[in-house]
Amino acid sequence: MLTTSRLAGDRYVNNILAALSEIPSIIVQQISINRIGRRYVLVMFHSFSGITLILATMCSSYSGKYYWLKHFSTFFSIFGRFSAAGSFSSVFLYTPELYPTNLRNVGLGMASTVSRIGSMISPFAATLADHVFWGPAAIFALLNIICTIILLTLPETMGRELPTTVEEMKSWVKDKKGNF
């Protein structure tokens, strides 16, 4: 489920569909990020990504009994890729806006470092999938749900002046303006 070669159907068609799913994802992200807010968009994309990973895994696990579920698993996997692409492009806009001027590059650097660590670990997910097929999807879905919960505690940055000092950043957290 994590790679297009493991999905039902032709691997080349799946790869094209997965790659093409990123185009509407970026369009949706660009339109919605300035209309409904950065945090809400991230919550939406992370939630959809986690849910579709769970659904894809469930469909895949029951596909031996019901063959047609393999196609639903492929659909949910591609929609999960759509959501992950939107989330990835949104996080690099939202993250620097949370930090004051003197820490902004450090915050963005930390986000970039964590994403690179995830990229280094991801090849081992295929090995885990050979032993426990639902393992990688469960881990990634859980991480998406954790990200969603954490995002709900952070302030919305849309329409606000970026913080210039640590004190301003702390007042954002105390203010809770823009939170659910």
Instruction: Flag whether pLDDT at 155 surpasses 80.
Output: yes
CA–CA separation, 77 and 9 (whole Å): 13
Residue with tokens 């790659």: 19
Q: What is the pLDDT of residues 18-40, one digit of tens each?
A: 888 889 999 999 999 989 999 99
Instruction: Flag whether pLDDT at 46 surpasses 90.
Output: yes
Nearest residue to 157 (alpha-carbon basis) of 112, 85, 90: 90
Q: What is the pLDDT of residues 64-90, one digit of tens each?
A: 777 778 888 888 888 888 998 999 888
When mean pLDDT is compared across 47-56, 106-115, 140-149, the lowest value belongs to 106-115
Give the model's pLDDT for residue 71: 80
Give the model's pLDDT for residue 154: 87
Instruction: Summarize the confidence of residues 137-153 as an average pLDDT.
Output: 91
CA–CA separation, 105 and 109 (whole Å): 6
Q: What is the largest CA-CA distance in the chain?
A: 59
pLDDT band at 13 (very low <50, low <70, confident <90, very high): confident
Say how many CA atoms lie within 13 Å of 67 toward its Cβ: 1
Residue 163, SS3?
Answer: coil
Burial environment of residue 120 by CB neighbours within 10 A (0 to 12, 13 to 18, 19 or more)? exposed
Give the model's pLDDT for residue 180: 42
Q: Taking all residues of the chain, what is their mean pLDDT, rounded to a whole number?
A: 84
pTM: 0.83
Instruction: Take residue 125 and report the two structure tokens written for it.
Output: 């997910």
Residue with tokens 């001027």: 101
Residue range 4-175 forms a domain whose CATH class is mainly alpha
Give the model's pLDDT for residue 4: 57
